[in-house]
Amino acid sequence: MSRAKKARKFASMKRMISNKDARLKENQGVAQKKKVKPNELQINETPQGSSALFFQYNTQLGPPYHIIIDTNFINFSIKNKLDIVKTMMDCLYAKCIPYLTDCVLAELEKLGAKYRVALKIVKDPRFERLPCLHKGTYADDCIVQRVNQHKCFIVATCDKDLKLRIRKIPGVPIMCISQRRYTVERMPDAYGDPKQ
């Protein structure tokens, strides 16, 4: 008998309030906000869609193509011995203008002496510079922000995280390296379009 009492007492001590309990102060405000009158019309704000998009087709994309390049794309191009501008033109069959943000340039400079070849290639006059007005040198956020503002860019990257973020933005193609050549996602008329 005494063992059963101990077990009950132990179990009753272990009971705790859950995080979603309405008695907590944080959850009381949330519960009040959720109460909506059934007769009222609920308004949801959505961001305005780009005027460049015709369904999922981006009408601003056309020759000459404007391509924003990421740091790892430059490094993988060097490892695969690909000339960036020439290979882009071979992939898209049109004139390509590669763009570099200040963040990408800063990342390459931070990488040090190992990547001085990449830095030398990037300083070629064929590469256009895009000035950055934000704090920090994290290039992924900068690229995503630019692509959200202007839908006229193709993003050249081999970074999986950045690809996932850009795939969520409609109408923005991604250029990457596969089988030692450049391929473009979401652009069916491109030469190196990967089979899906």
Domains identified in the chain, total number: 1
CATH of the domain at 75: 3.40.50.1010
Q: Look at residue 31 and tell me if it is in a domain.
A: no
Residue 193 is classified by DSSP as P
Measured on CA atoms in the order 32, 36, 41, 46, is the torsion positive or negative? positive
Tokens of 117: 């070849």
* Domain encompassing residue 101: 53-185
Q: Would residue 140 count as lying in a domain?
A: yes
The whole-angstrom separation of Cα 161 and Cα 52 is 25
The answer as to whether 33 is a domain residue is no
Token pair of 126, please? 């064929």
Q: Among candidates 66, 146, 134, which has minimal Cα distance to 106?
A: 134
Which residues of the chain, if any, have pLDDT below 70? 1-15, 25, 27, 29-38, 41, 46-47, 49, 54-56, 187-196
What does the pLDDT look like over 135-147, one tens digit per residue? 877 899 999 999 9
**Confidence (pTM):** 0.70
Tell me whether residue 157 is in a domain.
yes
